[in-house]
Amino acid sequence: MAQGAKSIVNSAVASAVALFLWASGIGAAEAATEPPQTTYYLVVHGSPTAGKDAEYNTWYLQHHLPDMLALPGVISGQRFVLAEDQDRVFDPKTQKYMIIFKIRTNNLKAVFRELERRSKAKLIVMSPAFDGSTVTSAAFVPLGPEVFATESAKKRAAAAVAATGVQ
């Protein structure tokens, strides 16, 4: 490649990187010094105070979820309710609801410290419908990419099961 063309390519690459950093809200100095961020999944199980499901769900959607999403690093949250039609693994009295928060940060402990600080300062709104004694939570990191079922994978799995004779 001629020197002039090489210079144009280098300049275009530098411009593309600068545009990406600008669009991402990352300054050049931050990009050089910030460690890469890890994606965590905070899984929280809990239940409302007996007889207060409606109040609990209203509080969760209108107050708690927005309060949690306002924490630095918390980028999403999705709520779930325990399915009725299953052999219960969880106790519906203490683990009826679950939420999974997606957190992207290079300092998970700092996210939890900020959560604690805001809770103590009453910046996170609580509700009498929230039964704190039922809450369990833990943060997880993925072991690999999300894997989706494909027809060929289903056929391979069915063949493997058939080969073992296990039904």
In this model, does residue 23 exceed pLDDT 70?
Answer: no
Given phi > 0 = left and psi -120 to 50 = alpha, else beta, which region is 25?
left
Cα separation, 44 vs 138, in Å, equals 7
Which one has a higher pLDDT value, 11 or 154?
A: 154
Cα separation, 28 vs 61, in Å, equals 37
Can you give the length of the chain in residues? 167
Q: Let me know if 46 is exposed, middle or buried by CB neighbors in 10 A (0-12, 13-18, 19+).
A: buried
> How does 75-96 read in b/e, with b if 16+ C-beta sit within 10 Å?
eebeeeebeeeeeeeeeeeebb
pLDDT digit string, tens, across residues 153-167 = 888 888 888 888 766
Mean predicted confidence (pLDDT) in 24-38: 66
- Domains of the chain (ranges plus CATH)? 1-34 (no CATH), 35-144 (3.30.70.100)
pLDDT digit string, tens, across residues 112-142 = 999 999 999 999 999 999 999 999 999 999 9
Mean residue pLDDT of the chain comes to 84
Structure-block tokens of residue 17: 């990187």
Mean predicted confidence (pLDDT) in 96-104: 96
Cβ neighbors of 98 (< 8 A, separation 6 or more) are 43, 44, 45, 79, 80, 81, 82
Query: Of 147, 144, 139, which Cα lies nearest the Cα of 40?
Result: 139
Q: Dump the DSSP string for 122-148.
A: T-S---TTEEEEEEEEEEE--SS----
